[in-house]
Chains A and B, each alone.
Chain A
Amino acid sequence: MLLIECPNCGPRDETEYQYGGEAHVPYPEDPSQLSDKEWAEYLFYRNNPKGLLAERWAHTAGCRRWFNVVRDTVTYEIKAVYRIGEPQPTLGGAQ
């Protein structure tokens, strides 16, 4: 079980959280101008790196807030936790 540090509540079990997929996926500036392929890529295509991945988590059983986590997809180590709106911290060996 992962022990994830919520920026508001501190370390809690993984089961208190919900996973929200990759973070920092920008909403298209003008979705009506996108082709079906580009729209599908925005909706469904995500990075799948072997290594560090910035992802969103929600502390649903606690403060119910979303936040970002940088997790190593190989070792499951949580490298950084930061709030929504804050820039992704630069870490060695990034994607």
Chain B
Amino acid sequence: MAEQLLTDITALRRSPLSHLHEQMSAAGVTGDRGVALREIPFLTMVGIRVEPGTPAAEAVTAVAGMPLPTGHGQVTGTAGATAILWIGPDEFLLVGPEGVGPAEIGPAGSDLREAGTDDAGTAAGLARALGTEPGQAVDLSANRTTLELSGPCARAVLEKACHLDLHPRAFAVGTAVATTLGPVQVLLWRTAELTWRIMPRASFAEYTARWLLDAMTEFASPEVP
């Protein structure tokens, strides 16, 4: 039987926006009207379906090391490390750094730490924690890619296409919602005062990135009074 020569497939993978990285960094604007766009590829994402308040939810909470968000817009954890986003009443999305697993997530000695270092390992660890309880944890890392829009004018760019109230009084740092940006369904997550994560599905990523690049263009010129 032939041996498998290639065990690390990370060298072969290509992010949905890899061909736009140069264009995105060139389109950045600095100064008062600054806005910048970049892709954060290959984040670990795990779709979690559990009913809050059940033993299944407790099992997930124990392994993830953070509580599940309880309502619309809420996020637990931190954007820099691992966070859980509220998607629906019994649907959550765990987002972590690439290849999160042993060191980054879960209390010491937990299943998650032993599960392995790849994205699928994280999902497997959560799924194993669920045991026979009703619920699921599925690796969705390839479903969406992550765009990061930052700068003083980032909100102005988003407001061209997003009809939600993005003012800090209504959309505080650490809020994430599923909504539409133009015609594209995205997860919109405010990770800092001037930083937003936009997570479209992979097949919509190019459209979203090009739309944002176009929307950023005007900020390179002085404001028209």
Contact = CB atoms under 8 A, between A and B. Distances in A.
Contacts, number: 34
Contacts of A9: 72, 177-178
Does more than half of chain A's interface fall in helix, strand or loop, or is it mixed?
loop
Does more than half of chain B's interface fall in helix, strand or loop, or is it mixed?
strand
B210 interface: no
Interface stretch (B1-9, B84-92, B127-135, B146-154): B84-92
Nearest to A7: B89
Contacts of B88: 8, 63-65
Contacts of A64: 87-88, 91
Interface residues of B, number: 12
A26 interface: no
A61 B185 CA distance: 6
B180 A65 contact: no
A16 interface: yes
A13 B178 CA distance: 13
Give the bracket for the number of chain A residues in contact with chain B.
10 to 19
B95 to A, nearest CB: 17
B179 A63 contact: no
18 contacts: A8-B88, A8-B89, A9-B72, A10-B72, A12-B163, A16-B180, A61-B179, A61-B180, A61-B185, A62-B177, A62-B178, A62-B179, A63-B88, A63-B89, A63-B91, A64-B87, A64-B91, A65-B88
Q: Please name the 8 residue pairs, one residue from A and one from B, whose CB atoms are nearest each other, closest first.
A: A63-B88, A61-B185, A62-B178, A9-B72, A61-B180, A13-B163, A64-B88, A8-B72
